[in-house]
Amino acid sequence: MIKSISVELIVLTATVILIKNFVGNFNLKLGKLAIFVFPLVSFVIGFTLRLSGNQELVDIGYFFTEFTTLFVTVLFSLCIYFGQIKYWRIK
């Protein structure tokens, strides 16, 4: 289990660095980056808890991974909705 957690942390760190570098090209503040990193961190925590083997922690892990899926879906829907509002105000 320690190896899997280590691999997850390495992948998480690499992904956060790549996202930070990508967002840096658009001159965005780091506070706006948190909305992109939060689902990733939440999913990794949930997946790690699911690997623990302890039934209570596995249940919490499923909650985190399902919450992350719901969060990303709602975030995507809100972005589409607010994008449409902004688009129709411009026209």
- Which residues span the domain enclosing 9? 2-90
**Residues 49 and 57: beta-carbon distance below 8 Å:** yes
Could you report the per-residue pLDDT of 50-78, keeping only the tens digit for each?
Answer: 888 888 888 988 998 999 999 889 989 98
CA distance 50 to 28: 34
Could you report the per-residue pLDDT of 22-44, keeping only the tens digit for each?
Answer: 777 777 777 777 777 888 888 88
Residue 73: both structure tokens together: 């879906």
Residue 91 — very low, low, confident or very high, per pLDDT cuts 50/70/90? low
**Residues 49 and 58: beta-carbon distance below 8 Å:** yes
Domain total for the chain?
A: 1
Residue 42: both structure tokens together: 């939440």
CA distance 23 to 5: 27
